[in-house]
Amino acid sequence: DAGVIQSPRHEVTEMGQEVTLRCKPISGHDYLFWYRQTMMRGLELLIYFNNNVPIDDSGMPEDRFSAKMPNASFSTLKIQPSEPRDSAVYFCASSQTGVNQPQHFGDGTRLSIL
């Protein structure tokens, strides 16, 4: 079975550019999570969706970040404009039936903002 698929795996761009990260959850999973991981702050939950609806976006750092889930098999996380402090590894994860259930992580996107 295919796991959570993220693209791109690596992204290097200049400050001020728009960045779009993509995620395809495991089929049949109702919950989708976006995380950011840095050495300083560890793994932070940014936002999660249930059945394509954003439930909690309290972890989104500021208005430059936005996330959408137009259908059950696709989600995007956008940063506009990007800043060097946004450099991190961004993970997408999905779980089958609940926010308290085990999550399956994608391979992540390593983002570098120059």
Partner 1 sequence: QKEVEQNSGPLSVPEGAIASLNCTYSDRGSQSFFWYRQYSGKSPELIMSIYSNGDKEDGRFTAQLNKASQYVSLLIRDSQPSDSATYLCVLSGGSYIPTFGRGTSLIVHP
Which of 82, 109 has the CB closer to partner 1?
109
Question: Which residues bind to partner 1, rule: CB under 8 A?
Answer: 33, 42-45, 48, 56, 59, 91, 99-108
* Contact call for residues 23 and 6 (beta carbons, < 8 A): yes
CA proximity to 25, closest of 78, 70, 87: 70
Q: How many other CB atoms are found less than 10 A from the CB of residue 67? A: 20
- Taking the complex as a whole, the smallest distance from the CB of residue 12 to partner 1 amounts, in Å, to 16
- Taking the complex as a whole, the smallest distance from the CB of residue 109 to partner 1 amounts, in Å, to 11
Which of 10, 85 has the CB closer to partner 1?
10
